[in-house]
Structure 1
Amino acid sequence: MARLLYLECSPHAGRSAGAQMLRPILDEFEAKGVRVTTRILSGPTLEPISTHYARAITSPGQPNDNAFAGSEQLIGELEHSDGVLINTPMHNFTVPAALKLWIDYVLRIGRTFVSTPDGKVGLLQDKPVLVLVRSGGACTGDDARQPDFLTPYLRHVLHTIGIGSVQFNYLAGREPPDHMWADARRNVYSFLNLLSSNGASA
């Protein structure tokens, strides 16, 4: 059985346009046997990084501390998934605060990556990731009128923990044209069909 981790990063949560497009598709694949873990990152779902956590993560040997309980849950959801679907807006040229907080809990030295003389090395198994990005204006291609720090940042973050198979799909404009939504649906179906077939053959 294929296992999908779905990260919903919009402050509108399930009411976002992207989430409303995705929900019936996810329901369809759940009916086919795909196990979907939904993590809504907006709102008070994740506690801000505390002094306790900051001290624990920089302590020698990182003792088994209850400060890591939330981090362990998020990392566990990632580890036990066969693929990740991220639905996120672009806020001020990069990831929204909710997704950044998830990253701060998941990107953890000694747990999801180690530092070596040649740089950081990821400790997690590679898996496919599809990122749907909503932006107020075009941020890629010849029509781009704003910088895109989200794509290289998120790609680097995931690579740091060992995940390099990342695809991005962009939905630009306050009301993205129909062809963008059609492309997004095709990409989501292709991604989930591949995930489902890989899960069935595992």
Structure 2
Amino acid sequence: MPGNTWLVVGLGNPGPGYANHRHNVGQMVVDELAARIGATFKKHKTPAQVAEGFLRPGGPKLVLAKSNSYMNTSGGPVSALLKFYSLPLERLIVVHDELDIPFDTVKLKSGGGHGGHNGLRDIAKAADSPDYVRVRVGVGRPPGRQDPADFVLQGFSSTERAVLPNLLSDAADAVELVITDGLLAAQQKVHAPSA
């Protein structure tokens, strides 16, 4: 199956109580991708919800996944999915919230540190390597002295919610670009300043 198959994991916490939190923006992006390819999330043999489909007819296959476990224990489900689909780490794209990037901004990187993000830390530990592609969706820093952990477990403000569909679309576009054009070309397009 590895031929042209990609595992795209949207990080977040399970259950409706967390669905609209900043921490779940990764899952919102894979929902957007599932809608684009006409796929529906279903229970899977691994501890995850999975939706499968093709980017375009005859094109790359996408395995979109949302873990059934909490953010901080994302590693086990991601590792299980890679094994189930016999995919190497180079075919993994993780979509996650990023405090160190302004809201409404998307950045791409491969490897490197976890920047205090416990979901990324757990995936790197379970995979025995940090060398996977990350689509970093900016949620901005908390205002004032608010604890970042509290900030990411809140919903977006009304102003942010108005822009959120565009942000999710931009992040989904970034995932598609990584798959079709490669990371370097995708970074050049995604990181280019807006005209």
Larger radius of gyration: 1
Q: Same fold (TM over 0.5)?
A: no
What is the TM-score when the length of structure 2 is the normalising length? Answer: 0.40
